[in-house]
Copies of this chain bind each other. A is one copy, B any other.
Amino acid sequence: MLVVMKAQATAEEIQAVCDHIVQLGFRPHPLPGAQRTAIGITGNQGEVNRGNLESLSGVAEVIRVSKAYKLASRDVREEDTVIRFSNGASIGGRDLAVIAGPCSIESREQAFAIAEQVAAAGAQFFRGGAYKPRTSPYAFQGLGLEGLKILSEVREKFGMRIVTEALDTETLDLVAEWADVIQIGARNMQNFSLLRKAGRLRKPVLIKRGMSATLEEFLMAAEYVMSEGNYEVILCERGVRTFSDHARNTLDLSIVPALKHVSHLPILVDPSHGTGRRDSVLPMARAGIAAGADGLIVEVHNHPEVAVSDGPQSLYPAQFATMMNEIEQIAPIVGRNLARGVAASVAVKE
């Protein structure tokens, strides 16, 4: 259910509607828009009686949201969600967001070497795993807290915002403390306890599509986070699992326009996991932007041949710079702009 307030509704009227919703045993989600505020209503105690709500002061109309996802739906919020960061970067607006870095943080030296190069090429976000989900219990599991600290130093030095994965509810708070965007991995897309807990934080959450998740399940994962009051959710297509064997996964780019149609949330594309092949990353990065994605998350490594994980799909820094140039040219064709980070100009000046 969705309460649409009148354009001239006051803050007091909005608050009064929220209070009323709480009294009814539901949860109100005030969502300010360009024209007027909408208030989503969630809860699992059945249907709200709409009659009472419609008679409250400042209420324009009460709408039933028929889709399973409510807060993630365009029915509830017509304008695109834009998430803004302190370094001037944003995700979901006109500016394309590019997140780059290694699969795993292996050492301070490795992280800094890669960070310097991706920052110079214009990346505004740095990625790197401190906690790694590995198929084998015997594989490298990440540097943990030490990795988070290295990421924090990267932010200090290069001005990029940090995106890193939270593997479980135990380490979520720690990750939230050090990162700017908390990544929920594909394997955890339906780890509902983790999603709920991430919903109680006030940090943006990037959710990767599960390996066999439908569009609706993907949005329901976002809904889990949003239902707890955290509306800064970023979606990310990273390839799904099919019979097709020429790539590690099948990058399902057509979910980009399909999501834009029904949801206001930003959607990024990960051509690295999406293909698993370095020689396909550039073509699919271009394709992702051309399809209308809000940005990219790509793996870059200075020495992919010795990377502890995902070497074969990591770009060399020079390839990443080429990628940035190519998507910069595609951007205006789809009404976008590639905003390069501060470090980029500095690096160029040096």
Contact = CB atoms under 8 A, between A and B. Distances in A.
Interface of A: 42-44, 68, 70, 133-141, 167-170, 187-188, 190-194, 196, 211-212, 214-217, 220, 223-224, 227, 240-247, 250-258, 261, 274-275, 277, 279-280, 283-284, 286-292, 326, 329-330, 333-334
Given A43-B138, A140-B44, A283-B291, A212 B330 contact: no
Contact of A277 (B141, B241, B258): B258
A253 B251 CA distance: 8
B212 A243 contact: yes
Nearest to A285: B290
Contacts of A214: 243-246
Contacts of A192: 133-134, 137, 167-168, 187
B247 A250 contact: no
Contacts of A257: 277, 279-280, 283-284
B280 A254 contact: yes
A188 to B, nearest CB: 7
A330 B256 CA distance: 18
Contacts of A138: 42-44, 70, 227
11 contacts: A136-B220, A137-B223, A137-B224, A168-B193, A187-B192, A212-B212, A212-B243, A242-B250, A242-B252, A253-B253, A326-B333
Contact of A256 (B194, B250, B277, B283): B283
Nearest to A133: B192
A241 B253 contact: no
Contacts of A139: 44
A194 to B, nearest CB: 8
B252 A244 contact: yes
Contact of A242 (B140, B242, B334): B242
Shortest 5 CB-CB contacts between residues of A and residues of B: A168-B193, A212-B212, A290-B290, A187-B190, A286-B290
